Amino acid sequence: MVQIELKKSENLQNWMVIELQGELKSRYETGLAYNLIGDLHFTRKAFPVLIVGHHVIYGKKVDLEKPIAVLKKSSEQCDGIKPLLVHAIIKTKLVFSSRPKPIILHVSQKV
């Protein structure tokens, strides 16, 4: 039987996740790596606001009832099987599920 052990990384990190409805695509179909996502602000009431492209999305901070472990294949071998390394734990996410508001550019503002 195959047995894969989950091992806690020595410096277990706390990560965070942003959940967007839909999908991000790069403008030139070049993949997402290196691309800008957007600006993240927090309002004084601690609600997150995300400016993505020409959209503004208001979101909320959610503590996950079921936390998420970020697993990574370990480089060290142990009886021929590479254990999975628990690299980080995610306990909080920022959810942006409201309808994005378009940003309307006023030409007059620039002049």
Partner 1 sequence: MSEVNLDDLRSRVDLAKLELDELLQPAQVLKFAGSAADDNFTLLQLDKDVLQSLEEGKSVVIRGDVDDAAVLCTEDVTYDVKNASTSNMLILLDDCEINQENMKAYSAAQVKGEEAMTVREIEAVGWKQDYLELRKIYPKMTRMIQLLSKSPYKGPQFEEENANQQLYTLSKLMETIQASELEIMTWLCKTNCCCVNGFWRVVDFGYIVECMGELFQLIEAESWSCGSIPIHDACEKINDSGELVPEFMVKHLLGSYGSQFVSEDGAHCFKLSERKICRLFAEMLLRDVGKFNLSEFFEVWKGSLPAGMTSDEKYLSGLALIDRSSRPASICLFKVEELPLDMEARFDALFNAREKWKLSDIEPYIEDICMKGQTVSSVLTKFARTSTLNGEKLYSTRKPLK
> Can you tell me which of 105, 107, 108, 111 binds partner 1, judged by CB under 8 A?
105
Per-residue x/- mask for partner 1, residues 44 to 83, rule CB under 8 A? x-x-xx-x----x----x----xxxxxxx-----------
Handedness of CA 35, 41, 91, 64 (dihedral sign): negative
Kindly state whether residue 40 participates in binding partner 1, applying the rule CB under 8 A: yes
- Could you tell me whether strands 60-73 and 84-96 are parallel, antiparallel, or unpaired per DSSP bridges? antiparallel
Binds partner 1 (CB under 8 A): choice among 12, 60, 78, 98: 12
Query: Closest by alpha carbon to 12, among 62, 72, 78?
Result: 72
